[in-house]
Amino acid sequence: MPFKNLRSLFLFAFICLLCYGNAVRYRMTRDLGLAMSIIDQEYVEPADSKRLYEAAMAGMMRSLDPHSSYIAAQKLPSFQSVFEQQFGGLGVSLDGPPRRPQLTVMTTLFNSPAFKAGLRPGDIIARVDGEDVMTWPVEKVSDILRGKEGTSVQLKIDRQGELFEKTIVRGRIDVESVIGDRRRGDGSWEFLMQADPRVAYLRIELFGEKTAAELQKAIESCDPPPEALIIDLRDNSGGLLIAATQICDMFLDDGQIVTTRGRNDRVDEEVKAKIGTIVPNNVPIAILINEHSASASEVVAACLKDRKRAIVVGKRSFGKGSVQNVIPLEGGRAAMRLTTAYYYPPSGRRIHRRDLTSEEGSWGVDPTEDCEIGLTAEQLTAAVQRFRSRSDPISNGMIPAQAPADESTQTSDKKDGGAIREANPDASLPEDAQLWLALQRLQEKLDQ
C-alpha cells in the first residue's frame, strides 16, 4: 500500500477514536439531561430542576476525593470571603452545640459592631430575629449573623440570667489571619510574649490574600525585634498555596520551597525562595502543629523543617498534600473546587494521606525529635480557654476589669514608647503544654 494511503488510513483511524471517545462522553451528558427531563415530567411530586442540577454536580465532585467539591451560587460569596478576609457581619466569635450546651459568645472583635453594642464573652445568644437559636449549631447561626453591611439583626441575650435585647447593624469585618500573644487595650495585638519578651508569638488562623503581609507587619512591629519566633499553625486547615510559599520565602534566602506534581507525576510548578529575608537566619523558629494542621500549614511546616530553618513541635499533621483549583462555572456565579496536583516539600517526602481511616504509613509532617507532644481532652479544653481569654483585653488584664469596654487602657509593663522590656509571670502558660514546650526549646537555644 502506498505510504500516502497508509498515512491517510492512520489519520482516519485516529479521528475515529477521537469521535468515539467524544461520543461516549456526549452520550453520558445526554443521558444525564434525559434523566433530569424524565424526573421533571414523571416524578410523583414536582421537582426543582436547579436542585437536581446542583445535586448531580455535588455528587460528581464528591465521588473524586474529600477535597473536591461543587460550590453553589448561594455559597460562593461566603467561600470567597474566607480567603479575601472580608465580609459583612457582627465581629463575634461563637461556640455552642455540640461543644457547649448553649450558643455562647467567646470573643468580640475590637471596635466591631458586636463590641460597640456591648456584647461580652460568656453572653448566651437566646434568639436571633425572634428565632430560638440557643441549641442551634454554631455554623448555622454564624451564617445568619453574616449579611450585607448596613442591615440589622435583633439579638436576645442571656447574661447570667438577665435577659435583654440588642439590635445591631452589620458592618464590614476584616478577618485577622495573624494574631499574637494577647490583645491590647486599643484592639491591636501584642506579639512579644508576656512570659519571655525575647520571643514573638504569631498564630496564623488561615492562609488568605493578606496573610503574608499581615505576618511581615506583625514581625516588624515588634519592639525590640524578637530574638526567636513561635509560629502557631495548630487547627489551621490551610488556604491559599501562594500565601504559604510567600511566608516560607520570608525566612529563606534561596532553595526549594515546594513542588507540585499533577497527573502522571508531571511537575506543574517548582517554587524557590528569593534572596533576602525579613528575619535574620540566626533567629531560631519553632512551628506548632497538631492533627488538624493541614494543606498550606503543612507546606510551611514541612519546608522550614526540611530546610533546617525551624523545629516543629506538637503532633503529626493531618496529611492533606493536595492542591485544589477553583474553576468558575455558570458564568462565574458558581464554581468547582477540583484537586489538580499533589505537593511535595524539599525532602520529596509524600505528605498526602490517601486513606483517612488508617494511621499507617508515611504521611503528614512529623514533629522534630524530642518535640512531639499531644494534649488530653482536658488539656485541650484548657488550652482553648486560655487562647480565648488572651484574645479579650479585659480577661487578659490589658484593660482593668473596672474600666469601660471602650477605654483603651495600657498595661504597666510598657516602657520606652510601648516596647516590652521585662518578662512578667504568665500563670496561664502551662495550660497550653505544646506552646510551653515550644517556648522552652527556644529558650534553650537563646541561653546557650
Domain boundaries, the chain: 86-174, 178-446
The model's pLDDT over 155-194, given as tens digits with 9 standing for 90+, comes to: 999 998 899 999 999 998 877 899 999 988 777 899 999 9
* 306 in active site: yes
CB neighbours of 301 closer than 8 A, spacing ≥ 6?
233, 287, 289, 293, 310, 312, 317, 365
* 414 in active site: no
Q: Are 54 and 75 in contact (CB under 8 A)?
A: no
Between 67 and 81, residue with greater pLDDT: 67
From 249, 315, 320, 392, active-site residue: 320
Between 43 and 14, residue with greater pLDDT: 43
Residue 406 scores a pLDDT above 70: no
Cell numbers 525566612: residue: 251
The model's confidence at residue 135, banded by pLDDT at 50, 70 and 90, is confident
Other residues' Cβ atoms within 10 Å of the Cβ of residue 358: 9
| Average pLDDT along the chain | 85
* C-alpha to C-alpha distance for 92 and 179, rounded to whole angstroms: 16
* Strand pairing class (131-132; 104-108): unpaired
What's the pLDDT score for residue 168?
94
Cα–Cα distances in angstroms (integers) from residue 302 to residues 115, 219, 266, 299, 420, in the given order: 38, 21, 21, 5, 32
From 69, 142, 177, 295, active-site residue: 295
The model's confidence at residue 274, banded by pLDDT at 50, 70 and 90, is very high
* 295 in active site: yes
* Strand pairing class (124-128; 152-159): antiparallel
What's the pLDDT score for residue 193?
96
C-alpha dihedral over 159, 161, 163, 169, to 10 degrees?
Answer: 20
**From its phi and psi, is residue 402 left (phi > 0), alpha (psi between -120 and 50) or beta?**
alpha
Domain 178-446 adopts which CATH fold? Answer: 2-enoyl-CoA Hydratase; Chain A, domain 1 (3.90.226)
3-state secondary structure of 245: helix
Cα–Cα distances in angstroms (integers) from residue 130 to residues 97, 121, 122, in the given order: 19, 22, 21
The model's pLDDT over 292-322, given as tens digits with 9 standing for 90+, comes to: 999 999 999 999 999 999 999 999 999 999 9
User: CATH: 3.40.50.1220, 2.120.10.70, 2.30.42.10, 3.40.640.10. Which one for 86-174?
Assistant: 2.30.42.10
Other residues' Cβ atoms within 10 Å of the Cβ of residue 99: 10
What's the pLDDT score for residue 435?
97
Residue 232 scores a pLDDT above 90: yes
What's the pLDDT score for residue 418?
42
CB-based burial label for 287 (10 Å; 0-12, 13-18, 19+): buried
From 196, 249, 306, 366, active-site residue: 306
Q: In sequence order, what are the beta bridge partners of 167? A: 154
